[in-house]
Structure 1
């Protein structure tokens, strides 16, 4: 059945004004004024005063759980569909974390397929912290080429839990990802977990400067882990890279701390363009705390909610226009991931993934491929066993 969203403040992400949006067959058919499907059967959704934005794209979620730094009992649980949709997430990318020995890319692929059956736009990365990378087929090139769900490779550097790949090994992996992605018509990238090591981006620069590989092939995350890494990220973005802040991390500074939203505005003030910034949650991953000797002294679980909170803070407290504030959560990650079908934006013929926010920027309704998952602030479509 067709759906007609009436009189919403539409952000594509650019503000398009007060518009009607006609949805059918999982896609946005038309955005315009005074739309009517005529005699065709349809449902009208009143959205007067609501802000219609693209669905959020979370590019870093531990769908099968993460953690484990404190032993087997410290492994975190799997993500539920409802926890994603109630926070406005319509596209999600799963990956492995520290424990890519007890967890596998095969189980991750199964979880991604499960979420897809439940209606979520779900994808994944092969690899993890280990080297050689944990893969589905035994070869990351085959994973990327032959599984539509696999968008790229996950790897960790500058972290005491990482495998400390050499520059030559990183160069080889980057080449594999590049070629496999070209052959399968994917954007292709290495999603780099950045630790608090003092080398920051130097290993990446060494690879880029010694090859013809573009810096866009490397996609660092957790760049707000330390103030030093955040500062180093200004140069990385200036060289043409895309940087990803984690909404579950507060950046400690000499003057106190920066929230993720403040981290975004910090980068903007340093001259980093908004189009070079994304924000992801690291949801269901562990948030370990280590002392100066590398001993675990605390462990928490990252939530899904902080990304929506960061978006709200960017508008309410940091004073960014909504059309700018939503880009690191929608259009930017969709472009960085190479998502097809108009995801991360609202456009005629594109996927009908969108959220209706009220004046407080709380999620009222969520639609994925034209199907309603949250209606009137309540989750109406849950996972099979929820």
Structure 2
């Protein structure tokens, strides 16, 4: 199947001006200037004229709770699963699923099944094996075999540090697990990334530094999230990035979390760039369908809301419109950099050979007109 997208103002993420894109099945087969003749024509080619609208890569979200999360306030506080309709309308075309606090009533098998359900609907989905607690829950009996033998499992996560809900892992345990994930990733041609949930305890990111200092594991093998959770954690995250690590900011939030000191994700990106953190070390994730719990000073649960997948696209717009970050640079933190960290070379860029995952933006305002995933329009007007 051939599809020609004409007159796209292309950000790949670098700005390429007005272009024609040819899609062959699921991938981009050609990109030519709009001044040139289209690469193909004829009755067998589907044609869509985008009339100069901006086209950017589909977003890559490294943390989504496909099957819900929560439960910190009892069974009545479990959050719902992600629906396919919400996912298709979000602008996120590549999603990585994780368990969270609850790895007892939710399992890796549930997670994998939901990943395949969303993939059947047209999206690209992956998973992390494990959860907050250690020893990690797995599908096949070990972290290494999950990553090596199950195509969707690309790393380990969300392992909790500096959080009262985690297992308080030692530096040795973190290094050992990272080594297992890294080696299995090498054997399978995957990233073997260790995705880290970071709580608000004053130890912040020190467990990861100690694991790297006391082992041969590079600090970039870890990708800690929620770095905008508190001002102190944010500052420690900037130091961590300057030391060679990566940092991830959470786009889902609530008025209560912001009032409690959370740094808005778009502001966190802007401040990190102003602090001369290398852009490639910054990513965004939605934490979609996770619980965003509130605890009092005694760590007692007092309420929660659920994360939203659409918050990733919203924060990308805030980076551009509220903080003046160039679109091509903002795309990196919402797509390209996560694709690189997760070792997904066909994601996060619009170039020949890449998967045809792309967003068509409206002429006015920060609005999605169309979402294309793997060469097929999955959202937008017919």
- 3-state SS of paired residue (2:111): helix
Deviation at 1:257, TM superposition (A): 5.9
Answering whether residue 379 of structure 2 is matched by residue 374 of structure 1, we say yes
CA distance in 2, matches of 1:182, 1:325: 30
- 3-state SS of paired residue (1:52): strand
Paired position in structure 2 for 1:247 = 251
Deviation at 1:252, TM superposition (A): 4.9
Q: Which of 337, 347, 371 does residue 351 from structure 2 map onto?
A: 347
Paired position in structure 2 for 1:384 = none
Deviation at 1:49, TM superposition (A): 2.8
Paired position in structure 1 for 2:98 = 95
- 3-state SS of paired residue (1:330): helix
Paired position in structure 1 for 2:300 = 295
Deviation at 1:258, TM superposition (A): 3.5
Q: Which of 45, 65, 69 does residue 68 from structure 2 map onto?
A: 65
- 3-state SS of paired residue (1:364): strand
Paired position in structure 2 for 1:361 = 366
Asked if structure 2 preserves the Cα contact closer than 8 Å seen for 1:226 and 1:252, the reply is no
| Count of aligned pairs | 375
Asked if structure 1 preserves the Cα contact closer than 8 Å seen for 2:8 and 2:19, the reply is yes
Paired position in structure 2 for 1:76 = 79
Q: Give me the TM-score of the superposition, normalised by structure 1.
A: 0.94
Can you give the 5+ residue segments of structure 2 that lack an aligned partner in the other structure? none
Paired position in structure 2 for 1:17 = 17
Q: Give me the TM-score of the superposition, normalised by structure 2.
A: 0.95
- 3-state SS of paired residue (1:236): helix
Paired position in structure 1 for 2:321 = 316
CA distance in 2, matches of 1:213, 1:234: 20
CA distance in 2, matches of 1:316, 1:174: 38
Paired position in structure 2 for 1:215 = 219
Q: Which of 159, 162, 173 does residue 158 from structure 1 map onto?
A: 162
Q: Which of 206, 226, 229 does residue 225 from structure 1 map onto?
A: 229
Deviation at 1:38, TM superposition (A): 2.9
Deviation at 1:253, TM superposition (A): 8.2
Deviation at 1:40, TM superposition (A): 5.2
Paired position in structure 2 for 1:260 = 265
Answering whether residue 114 of structure 2 is matched by residue 111 of structure 1, we say yes
CA distance in 1, matches of 2:224, 2:49: 40
The runs of 4+ residues in structure 1 deviating greater than 2 Å are 249-254
Per-residue Cα deviation, 1:107-140 (whole angstroms, up to 9, x for no partner): 1011111222222100000000121101101211
Asked if structure 1 preserves the Cα contact closer than 8 Å seen for 2:8 and 2:20, the reply is yes
Per-residue Cα deviation, 1:140-179 (whole angstroms, up to 9, x for no partner): 1110110110010011110000011122211211111111
Deviation at 1:309, TM superposition (A): 1.1
CA distance in 1, matches of 2:122, 2:340: 21
Paired position in structure 1 for 2:138 = 135
Can you give the 5+ residue segments of structure 1 that lack an aligned partner in the other structure? 381-386
CA distance in 2, matches of 1:4, 1:252: 44
- 3-state SS of paired residue (2:90): coil
- 3-state SS of paired residue (1:258): coil
Answering whether residue 286 of structure 2 is matched by residue 281 of structure 1, we say yes
Asked if structure 2 preserves the Cα contact closer than 8 Å seen for 1:227 and 1:253, the reply is no
Asked if structure 2 preserves the Cα contact closer than 8 Å seen for 1:225 and 1:249, the reply is no
Give RMSD over aligned pairs. 1.5
